[in-house]
Structures are given as structure tokens and as C-alpha cells.
């Protein structure tokens, strides 16, 4: 799954961490939620795999909060991976960045996380396979946490959620017409599924009690514990 954030978002990769905060409601709280739950569930020196880890912002939040944890970023965007390596260099061998797709078999680990990444999977059938792969890789009591947008596929909920999202972006200086233009452009590569469908897919993958750990407008942290 070759992917270029620069081509997709039409921004310089170096600007990603700044711009994403103007696009994503509750971005900091979302990352903090993932880090908090890892601290509550994962062994102190556990292994976390970050699928589509990008610039390493989520990995950095995890590594900073949990001083013995190990995080392995998987990504396929060379520019993002280069930024992540530089960003995480101070964490030494606790952090690594590897060129692997989240469609590949996942190594045994204590947690799998993703942030604004798995919406690049266009079909729910494929995403269910990814969730099953994650479930198989997790050790007993391991946790999966996905931070991403979830949007109803029926009206009036779908339109209302995009309106909510556009109004957030307006607080960051992005006019409504520009916000909807961005939504249209992103739709070429992004597929936001209804939360109910995501939780059902997790159940089919093996998670007995799929959970919503945090939600703010369309942004959701959901997953499950094995």
C-alpha cells in the first residue's frame, strides 16, 4: 500500500504536525488517551506496534509517558519515516521505524495502535482481516487502540457530523467552503466507516468486548482488549 502524505494532503511533510492540529478535532487528547490506556494495560517494558505511524507523534507521546516501553513504527511513506527516525532518535533502541504495510502479518506484541491511518483501508472486508491479524498478534491481555474518524453512512447523521467537523476547522481559520473541499479531496483515499460497523468488525475478529475509549465529534479512539 504505497502512500504519500505530501501528495494526499498537499502539504510539506515538515508541516504535517502543525497542520494536522487544524484538521483533527481533539488531536492532543486523542494521543493522550491512547498513551494512558497503554500505561494501564501493557507491561512496563512491553512491545507496541504503531501501524502507519507517520511522523512519530503518537510514538513520541507513548515513549515519553512510558519510560520502559518499546515502540515499533510501521509505515510505507519514506518522507514520514525519515521524520519519525529523527524525532525518536533520543529514545535509542526503545524506538524503531520499519517499512512495512499494516496489511502484513504482525509480530507478537503487547499492543497495536494506529492514529489517523487505518481509514486508508477502503473496504470493510479488508479491515476485518487487519483486525483479525491484530488480534492474533496480541499476547493475552494485549490491547488494540485505533484513533481515527468514524462517520455514519446514512442521513441525517452523516451530514451533521461533517458540519460539526467543518465548524471545528473554522475555529482554526479554515472556512467552511475550504473544509468541504478538503473532505472531497480526502475522499479519494480516505474511507470513514460508521462506529457501529467498526465495533462489529472487531467482534468478528475475536475481540469479545470492543470498546470506545474516547470520542469527540467524528474522532474516536476505539479497540479492544484480548
pLDDT computed for residue 6 by the predictor: 45
Q: Evaluate if residue 147 carries a pLDDT over 80.
A: yes
Q: What residue spans of the chain are helical by DSSP H?
A: 5-9, 16-23, 27-41, 57-65, 78-87, 124-137, 157-171, 176-186, 195-205
Place of cell 451533521: 160
Of all residues in the chain, what percent carry a pLDDT higher than 70? Answer: 94
Q: Evaluate if residue 10 carries a pLDDT over 70.
A: no
39's torsion region: left (phi>0), alpha (psi -120 to 50) or beta? alpha
Confidence of residue 11 (pLDDT cuts 50, 70, 90): low
pLDDT tens, residue by residue, 153-167? 999 999 999 999 999
What value, to the nearest 5°, has the Cα angle with vertex 36 and ends 212 and 87? 115
pLDDT tens, residue by residue, 168-193? 999 999 999 999 999 999 999 999 99
Q: Which of 9-13, 62-66, 144-148, 209-213 has the lowest mean pLDDT?
A: 9-13
Nearest CA to 25 out of 191, 210, 179 is that of 179
Q: How far apart are CA 77 and CA 137, in angstroms?
A: 23
Q: How far apart are CA 29 and CA 56, in angstroms?
A: 16
Torsion of CA 29, 34, 179, 191, to 10 degrees: -160
Q: How far apart are CA 9 and CA 118, in angstroms?
A: 16
pLDDT tens, residue by residue, 74-128? 999 988 899 999 999 999 999 999 999 989 999 999 999 999 999 999 999 999 9
Confidence of residue 13 (pLDDT cuts 50, 70, 90): low
Cell for 215?
A: 470520542
Nearest CA to 59 out of 68, 77, 72 is that of 72
- What does CATH list as the number for 5-225? 3.40.50.150
Q: How far apart are CA 135 and CA 130, in angstroms?
A: 9
Count Cβ atoms within 10 A of the Cβ of residue 71 and give its class: 0-12 exposed, 13-18 middle, 19 or more buried: buried
Are the C-beta atoms of 194 and 151 separated by less than 8 Å?
yes
Q: What is the CA radius of gyration of the chain?
A: 17
Q: Where are the domains of the chain?
A: 5-225
Amino acid at each position: 500500500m504505497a502512500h504519500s502524505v505530501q501528495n494526499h494532503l498537499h502539504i510539506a511533510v515538515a508541516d504535517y504536525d502543525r497542520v494536522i492540529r487544524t484538521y483533527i478535532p481533539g488531536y492532543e487528547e486523542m494521543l493522550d488517551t491512547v498513551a494512558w490506556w497503554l500505561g494501564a494495560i501493557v507491561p512496563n517494558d512491553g512491545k507496541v506496534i504503531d501501524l502507519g505511524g507517520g511522523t512519530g507523534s503518537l510514538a513520541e507521546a507513548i515513549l515519553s509517558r512510558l519510560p520502559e516501553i518499546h515502540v515499533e513504527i510501521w509505515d510505507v511513506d519514506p518522507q514520514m519515516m525519515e521524520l519519525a527516525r529523527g524525532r525518536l532518535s533520543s529514545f535509542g533502541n526503545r524506538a524503531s521505524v520499519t517499512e512495512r504495510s499494516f496489511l502484513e502479518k504482525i509480530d507478537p506484541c503487547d499492543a497495536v495502535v494506529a492514529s489517523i491511518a487505518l481509514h486508508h483501508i477502503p473496504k470493510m472486508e479488508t479491515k476485518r482481516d487487519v483486525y483479525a491479524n491484530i488480534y492474533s498478534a496480541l499476547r493475552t491481555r494485549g490491547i488494540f487502540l485505533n484513533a481515527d474518524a468514524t462517520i455514519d453512512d446514512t442521513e441525517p447523521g452523516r451530514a451533521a457530523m461533517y458540519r460539526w467537523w467543518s465548524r471545528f476547522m473554522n475555529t482554526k481559520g479554515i472556512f467552511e467552503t475550504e473544509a468541504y473541499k478538503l473532505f472531497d479531496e480526502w475522499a479519494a483515499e480516505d474511507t470513514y466507516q460508521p462506529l457501529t460497523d467498526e465495533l462489529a468488525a472487531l467482534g468478528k475478529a475475536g475481540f469479545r468486548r470492543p470498546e470506545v475509549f474516547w470520542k469527540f465529534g467524528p474522532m474516536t479512539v476505539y479497540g479492544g482488549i484480548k
